[in-house]
Amino acid sequence: MHLPSSSSRRRQSFVATALLTTLLTLGLLPARAATTPALLDDFSDAKHNRHGIDRLLIDDKGAGSQSHATLKCENGVLAVEGELVPGRGVPAFISLVSLLTPGGKPQDLTGYEGVRLRVKTGKGILTVQVSSTEIQNFDYHTSAPIVGKSGEFTEVRMPFKDMKRAWSEQIPLNLKSITSINLVSFGLAKDTFAYEVDEIGFY
């Protein structure tokens, strides 16, 4: 059996690499991911994520509850803690929102499988929520509660395919319409919550 020489293999590899690069450049093959970088936030800036956008803390006062929370960002770690105070007949929630663009325009995440984060869970329930322009009633696709080692930073991966809507019809998450990644603490009874996170991104 005749095996190609090492120089021949190198030439073949170079030609294949050049061809692939040309096809990607011309848009004839899809790239692995869209323009959205894999790292969304490493909390190296006290106020802005890696896209230069302010982090937003959304509470439930508009829904009739009275929950509140505080943020502290030091040494690349964001600490969030607060109290969930549900109103009559409504749940309580606090949502930490990280937009993908300053204007909240939809981004294409079809090259990724899910959300990755390093988190230290403390008290309460914490989930990952993915906001989409296709969802109009705020019942966005949400992960199961995050389970980490208490008191330790743990890398957690939340696949997009496993995320569900809470009360609405289950529809596939359109990864071409994503506007933000949210960390949501919620509950049906009055309670406290706390967690720390040092990185959020995609895998």
From the number of C-beta atoms within 10 Å of its C-beta (0-12, 13-18, 19+), residue 193 rates as buried
pTM: 0.81
Amino acid, single-letter form, for residue 68 = H
- Where do the domains of the chain lie? 1-30, 32-202
Q: What is the pLDDT of residues 84-107, one digit of tens each?
A: 999 999 999 999 999 999 988 999
Q: What is the pLDDT of residues 102-127, one digit of tens each?
A: 988 999 999 999 999 999 999 999 99
Residue in the block written with tokens 């450049």:
25
Q: What is the pLDDT of residues 37-96, one digit of tens each?
A: 999 999 999 999 999 999 999 999 999 999 999 999 999 999 999 999 999 999 999 999
The domain defined by 32-202 folds into Jelly Rolls (2.60.120)
CA distance 105 to 50: 16
Q: What angle do CA 146, 196, 191 make, to 5 degrees?
A: 70
CA distance 183 to 122: 14
What's CA 175's distance to the chain center, in Å?
12
